[in-house]
Structure 1
Amino acid sequence: MSEPILWPADELLSALDGILIAGETNNAEMSNVTMNGADGISIDSRDIARGDAFFAIKGELSDGHDYVQKAAENGASVVVISDEKYAQNVSASVVLVDDVLKSLARVAVAARRRTQAKIVAITGSVGKTSTKEFLKDCLQACGKTHASVKSFNNQWGVPISLARMPKDTEYGVFEIGMNHLDEITPLVKMVSPDIAIITTVAPAHLGYFKNLQQIALAKSEIFDGLAKNGTAILNRDNEFFDYLSDRAKLKNITNIVSFGSHPEADLHLYEYQLLPTQSKVTVFDGDKKYKYEIGVAGKHQISNSLAVLLAIKSLDIDLVRVLSVLSMVELTDGRGAQSDIGFKNGHIKLIDESYNANPASMVAAFSVLSAQIVKPDGRKVAIIGDMLELGTDSPQIHAQLAAGIVAADIDLVLACGPDMKNCYELLPANMQAGYAPSSALLVKKLNAALSPNDVVMVKGSLGTKMSEIINKLKETSKAAI
């Protein structure tokens, strides 16, 4: 049996609060198309699926109205615009609204109101996406689950993800990000979660905040939209646990639970074993003991799994139902995915952490690299780029990484970016394998620095374009660079 249509025409038009118009050609046909509603939601004409509603959002770099024709040609059944002149000769139904982004938000709110799903919202300085993916995998074993894709966690991504949620969803998982105060509040009010998770508070986007406590304040905005009798899940090991707990109480939240190695954590991390590609974990929930494996490496991923298990428990699902799922979770490209690729006359193991970086996630990546097992002729190699948005203290924060790299027993380091140079220059000479001002220039040093059997971890902020290094290594697999 086929899935019901995502948005029947009457529900969609009501949510949009716009005026149904059509192009100059075959108005009647356009009305018929509209009556079919929409099977999906998109703001990108390049990834339109047939039957989608296309929202022509105006961004800083481009205007979606310029792609209305292309969206219709690619199969959009409905386009939502705020400038009537773009309705001409469009082979799709057209809805005219005052503000396209606000109309998308209205559809998102309508999607939340029409479902009986239990909703989980996740924020935090690190671990949002991994926690979201792990929880999605676990909940899919328990019922129909919808989750935001990739890192759709901003003022566009959250309403898109919410608007895409089918009416009969049983569990929804949404990631909410920010880099300024007052950004989470409007998004979490849309999502209206039953459970709110803050993975941790750590130095990230410091350039936009006075201090770490202000970051904690921004993260605590997730409580602003928590449903009545909702549950807040906090990291008991984080220095801001008490602060966040107090913030939750100020919002009249009484269900506050915690995870971590702290003896007072509700879900207590009792012991663990870190392995190159996975971890073995023992936890206590009160007097109940659980043992499980998580199919990805790193202490930070154990922490993420604890948040997931607390969410599962808060949803009144037996933890035993999902423990086996955690053993099968995987990381995506750019977020820790591991692969063996050809290099010269052999292979290297590549750990792709290229999507983003801040001090906490960088240290976590060093820990994963440190736990790798290399052959006698192999080395542990870190290729690192700048961590952005750290403000005036950025040079010093980068320099502080050097001690952690040495302690992690990493053999070689290649670095790029003006701030990461501060770290690189503090490393022992025998660890320095190459520096360049940019990732594009650092690529030229890879062939001389790397050898078969090396384990190579690549990490940096998205703006440093460390993915260029990943792409180059993959493109030249089994060939010299």
Structure 2
Amino acid sequence: MRQRMLSELVGLMHPSPAEVFGDDVLVGPDIILDNRSATPGSVFVAIPGERVDGHDFAPQAVAGGATAVLASHTTDADAAHLLVQDTVVGLSALARGLVREARSRGMLSLGITGSSGKTSTKDLLAQILEGHGPTVAPVGSQNNEIGVPLTACRIDDDTAHLISEMGARGLGHISWLTSLVPLDVAVVLNVGHAHVGEFGGLAQTAQAKGELVESVGPNGWAVLNGNDDAVVGMRSRTGGHLAFFGEGELPAGDMHVRARNVTMGAFSQARFDLVVSRDGREENATVQLQVVGRHQVANALAAAAAAVAVGVPVDAVAAALSDAQVRSSWRMELHTRHDGVLVLNDSYNANPDSMEAALRTATELVQFQRAEHPDARVVAVLGDMLELGPLADDAHAALGRLAKDLGVAQVVAVGGFADQICEGARREGLEARVAHRDDVIDNMDLHAGDVVLIKGSRGVGLEAVANALMEDNA
């Protein structure tokens, strides 16, 4: 947000009720939620939480440089207040007004959803678009009713592209988010088992994710995974142009973005021919990904399709994808220890689909390692997959069996479903043990060439295991 008078924000937030209490001051450019992130001129948004109330931290935010407080009541902060009935709704109203204003001057808005891969795809897309105009994208995984408007509030008069990552845990969530941030391009990656316990099944998940494409107008684009039947089924829910991405045969559409001749390098980094078909012509360019994992091919294709839809040349897309790096922490981070052990840290989150992708990546890595280290093994440190509801027990047991099927040598399970993971593994004859997070690396006998995968839902906190593994060999 560019600097404005506080009273100007009231106009942007209309028709949501808001009023200035105190002096009308110059605010911006930053909108913050954490008082420790205060900058000169920032607006501190006081959001009540389950344990603490942001209103109590307003004085510290002002002491750090904040000029105003967005609050539901006055606080002890010696600063102007922008008063609203509900601060989350107020933040949303501000974001809606800023986006409406920016789109009227030509800013393009792109949104991404899917059961897995949203953050990785968002990071790839951002690195493509940044070469073609100022781009705002979420930091990390800001994909909910607070993160989406907070990201939108970072746009200014120069922003050419706004990328929003949009998650959902029920019907109507994405519709709400797209009411704040209407889209010119809507990208749906996949429909999988993430949050299936909350949605109630895959059909309900598809219904919720498909709300994204309903927001696209006739001049916009719906970018859909042509290899996922549930996503393909969303084509009837949009009035926009259709772009399908994937490998092999794809459904009829206005544009197709394919990967051909995919090969994997020693660190599970894909090389492929990017093929874009549209308007009766075909363009090709070579991509050499730096990010890790075969599943990143689909993420790269999705990002490529979205970028081409907004006018980025195919060769520029391929070049940007080939240079793109991991930006968000704990997502397929590959580290090599001094002793030659590879640590694959994918500890940010987990569901059955992303678990399978991570396990496959780890076993691909070890195959290359065996050229120098014939006895190299995969050790999988696996944590809970949360939000699976009544399917959780069976899903965790299946995870243990899958580890055996894919050639994992040992499983170390952490969390409330550790017993189920180990039970599934042991039934297949795979060595498995339950451990507390702080004790995982105890008695872990690792050798050069071994690959240690660390994967679990965010609530398990397995990034601590990755840190301990790296420090153990510092």
Q: State TM-score, norm by structure 1.
A: 0.89
Contact 1:161 1:174 in 2 (8 A): yes
1:235 Cα deviation (Å)?
Answer: 0.5
Cα–Cα, structure 1 residues 339 and 301, in superposed 2: closer, same or farther, change >3 Å?
same
Contact 1:141 1:322 in 2 (8 A): no
Structure-1 residue corresponding to 2:413: 415
1:315 to 310, 319, 329: 310
Q: Does 1:49 align with 2:39?
A: yes
Cα–Cα, structure 1 residues 347 and 191, in superposed 2: closer, same or farther, change >3 Å?
same
1:397 to 395, 407, 419: 395
Structure-2 residue corresponding to 1:198: 188
Q: Does 1:256 align with 2:242?
A: yes
Cα–Cα, structure 1 residues 228 and 78, in superposed 2: closer, same or farther, change >3 Å?
farther
1:464 Cα deviation (Å)?
Answer: 1.7
Cα–Cα, structure 1 residues 46 and 149, in superposed 2: closer, same or farther, change >3 Å?
same
1:329 Cα deviation (Å)?
Answer: 1.6
1:75 Cα deviation (Å)?
Answer: 1.2
CA distance in 2, matches of 1:304, 1:448: 34
Which stretch shifts more, 379-388 or 120-129?
A: 379-388
Task: Output aligned runs, 1:175-190, within 5 Å.
Answer: 175-190=165-180
1:333 Cα deviation (Å)?
Answer: 2.2
Give the AA of the match of 1:353: D
Cα–Cα, structure 1 residues 93 and 277, in superposed 2: closer, same or farther, change >3 Å?
farther
CA RMSD of aligned residues (A): 2.1
CA distance in 2, matches of 1:112, 1:246: 27
Task: Output aligned runs, 1:58-457, within 5 Å.
Answer: 58-84=48-74, 86=75, 88=76, 90-115=77-102, 116-248=106-238, 253-264=239-250, 266-275=256-265, 276-286=267-277, 287-331=282-326, 332-342=328-338, 346-372=339-365, 373-374=368-369, 375-376=372-373, 378-427=376-425, 431-436=430-435, 438-440=436-438, 442-443=439-440, 445-457=441-453
Which stretch shifts more, 136-145 or 447-456?
A: 447-456
CA distance in 2, matches of 1:433, 1:347: 23
After superposition, the C-alpha distances for 1:267-287 in whole angstroms (9 at most, x for unaligned) are 222220122242101232233
Please give the secondary structure, in 2, of the residue aligned with 1:178.
coil
Contact 1:50 1:74 in 2 (8 A): yes
Count of matched residue pairs: 452
Task: Output aligned runs, 1:27-46, within 5 Å.
Answer: 31=23, 35-46=25-36
Cα–Cα, structure 1 residues 5 and 240, in superposed 2: closer, same or farther, change >3 Å?
closer
**Identity across aligned pairs (percent)?**
30
Cα–Cα, structure 1 residues 264 and 103, in superposed 2: closer, same or farther, change >3 Å?
same
Which sections of structure 2, spanning at least 5 residues, go unmatched?
none
CA distance in 2, matches of 1:471, 1:56: 33
Structure-1 residue corresponding to 2:455: 459
CA distance in 2, matches of 1:186, 1:418: 33
Structure-2 residue corresponding to 1:27: none
CA distance in 1, matches of 2:345, 2:161: 30
Please give the secondary structure, in 1, of the residue aligned with 2:204.
helix
Q: State TM-score, norm by structure 2.
A: 0.90
1:433 Cα deviation (Å)?
Answer: 4.8
Which sections of structure 1, spanning at least 5 residues, go unmatched?
23-30
Contact 1:123 1:176 in 2 (8 A): yes
CA distance in 1, matches of 2:84, 2:258: 51
